Structure 1
Amino acid sequence: MTGDLVVLANPEAGRGRHKDLFPALLDRLAEAERPVRLLDARTREEAQAACHAAVAGGAGALVAVGGDGTVHLALQAVAGTDVPFGAVPAGTGNDFAVETGVPSEPLAAAAAIADAVKAGRTRPVDLARLTGADGGQMWYGAVLAAGFDAVVNERANRMRWPRGPRRYDLAILIEVVRLKPRRYVLRLDGEEQRIDAVLLAVGNCASYGGGIRIVPSADPTDGVLDVVLGNVNRTTLIKLKGKTYEGTHVDHPQVHTYRARTVEIEGEGITTYVDGERAYPLPVTITAVPGAVRLLT
């Protein structure tokens, strides 16, 4: 493994709770005995461009220090390439890192990455490739939401008040009151079904949102995607919310699970979210890509 160890970092991830650890994290990464280069990026657009430029310029590896949003940006550059990738979980939600076996403690994760770089050790991990109606593509590592959670995210992002987590809580309340099933056309490896649902998620990994195991059977090394959908009423949805952290919501008779290599979703009025980031409006196609990223661990 040659070239610099390039780092994309978001010190403010997780509301800055690991900000003081940042110098120590860089020191741990330097134990890889490779030059460590911190990317200078103040916006998402700059971060995206810097990651792509680093990979195109011969980076030895790319490391994301932050939460799922930071990981998501970095994955767009390394997916489908031979450039190894490392994730240091330092955000509010660290689902991709946790679900792929990265140590949950940031310093331990950085030390594991440094050791893997020195040893030239990587392992293949699957990603999902998302294609929009206009042909645009992006990659995601954890979960795509196309049901109630996507609608909540979209409402929360439109709201200007209140600030902080309460805005998301208010968005949930509004959408619970307005809850109604939506009609989807779902194709699983080409097999079509028309369904009404309020829950719809497609997972490469099991969890999103900081440990919500919405697609508990998903495994990022098995080469397929897992789909969870459910058509439940308002009362049942509220009851199932607490069960999603254990993944036991899928035991409910109105919640169904499927597996496929390619998932196509059509529907009206839904903008999808992947790894917590706003993605494409429906219709979309999601494809499992085995071994799309080489993980340092």
Structure 2
Amino acid sequence: MTAADHPSVDPEGPVAVLVNPTAGRGRHRGLLTPVISRLAGAGRQVRLLEAQSADQAETVCRTAVAGGVAALVAVGGDGTVHRALQAVAGTSIPFGPVPAGTGNDFAGDTGFPTDPLAAAEVIAEALRAGRTRPVDLARLTGPTGPPRWYGAVLAAGFDAIVNERANRMRWPRGGRRYDLAIMVELARLRPRRYKLRLDGVPYELDAVLVAVGNCPSYGGGMRICPDADPTDGLLDVVVGGRLDRRTLIRVKPSIYQGTHLRHPLVSSHRVRTVELAAEGITTYADGERALELPVTVTAVPGALRLLR
């Protein structure tokens, strides 16, 4: 669905709110009432969207948008935002993220306060003023199936492999599962052969890390694509070449400051379109399982209207 074929929207209509009750491992359970109160302060009816799974979250968001809501708000982390984006990308329906997850990179990188209630107030003020700001999104396509949209970063290397292993593990729970997945995959670390086309120019190389950023950060503040700007109509592609285990461990802390680009085995490219292929990798977009390689990623300027 695009802005051109979207049904007419009542600018004074209801605001749909998608809530992830498990976001931030449940730390923000008491936030919903004050968040709703602030949004209602914009003089709009607030309609809660209930979902028991990620797929259901996308479905209820699409249904709300097709039904003519005036805006969509996501209360949660990057995963919740990712599900909501599938409904509003390319439409005229404005969107607001209330950061209440473990990772809130998209909200932070697009200028929202880190405090959830402050972010809700920013969204409410934008609703009152009828103000929105355009930001870019990335459009992800593969050989089969519908396209996906993402707002922050696509992981397509070691980071994606770790996520895939962690999601297959049933023990331990919480963050320790991810830590264990890192240890296992570090022991198995090897460069993989990638084929890339950057704005049509082919490259073939060995790498352990490939990230495609619309925004700078992923994983709760890791500035993997530090120069990415979600308003420039471009994507930043960061490639970590033949990094061995010891070098990767040494480089990893610098990713939080974005200084890893200084390492001679790390390169960055700014393009409009990326074609990316490698064997045996499933990508993760905004921290959510996405498409298996090969994929094409395209920057879509102004694909989202933010309530900011």
Provide TM-score, normalisation by structure 1: 0.99
Match of 1:131 in 2: 141
CA deviation profile, 1:19-57 (whole Å, cap 9, x unmatched):
112101100010110111101222222211110011010
State whether residues 133 and 282 of structure 1, in contact with CA within 8 Å, keep that contact through their aligned partners in structure 2.
Answer: no
Match of 2:40 in 1: 30
CA deviation profile, 1:127-171 (whole Å, cap 9, x unmatched):
000001214210000000000000111111111222221111111
Work out the CA distance in 1 between the residues paired with 2:160 and 2:233: 25
Work out the CA distance in 1 between the residues paired with 2:50 and 2:249: 43
Unaligned stretches of 5+ residues in structure 1: none
State whether residues 19 and 50 of structure 2, in contact with CA within 8 Å, keep that contact through their aligned partners in structure 1.
Answer: no
Q: Percent identity?
A: 68
Match of 2:256 in 1: 245
Residue 48 (str. 1) matches residue 63 (str. 2): no
Work out the CA distance in 1 between the residues paired with 2:246 and 2:59: 45
Match of 1:255 in 2: 266
Match of 1:101 in 2: 111
Provide TM-score, normalisation by structure 2: 0.95
Q: Which residue among 247, 255, 278 is the counterpart of 1:267?
A: 278
Number of matched residues?
297
Q: Which amino acid aligns with 1:78?
A: V
1:69-218 maps to which residues of 2 (within 5 A)? Answer: 69-218=79-228
Q: Which amino acid aligns with 2:279?
A: E
Work out the CA distance in 1 between the residues paired with 2:176 and 2:113: 30
Q: Which amino acid aligns with 2:53?
A: T
Unaligned stretches of 5+ residues in structure 2: 1-10
Work out the CA distance in 2 between the residues paired with 1:165 and 1:99: 23
State whether residues 55 and 78 of structure 1, in contact with CA within 8 Å, keep that contact through their aligned partners in structure 2.
Answer: yes
Match of 1:289 in 2: 300
Match of 1:12 in 2: 22
Measure how far apart 1:2 and its partner are. Answer: 2.5
Residue 236 (str. 1) matches residue 236 (str. 2): no
Work out the CA distance in 2 between the residues paired with 1:210 and 1:267: 26
Paired residue secondary structure (1:130) = strand
Q: Which amino acid aligns with 1:175?
A: E
Q: Which amino acid aligns with 1:255?
A: V
Work out the CA distance in 1 between the residues paired with 2:198 and 2:54: 33
CA deviation profile, 1:76-104 (whole Å, cap 9, x unmatched):
00000000000100111000000000111
Work out the CA distance in 2 between the residues paired with 1:41 and 1:175: 33
Residue 64 (str. 1) matches residue 74 (str. 2): yes
State whether residues 158 and 208 of structure 2, in contact with CA within 8 Å, keep that contact through their aligned partners in structure 1.
Answer: yes
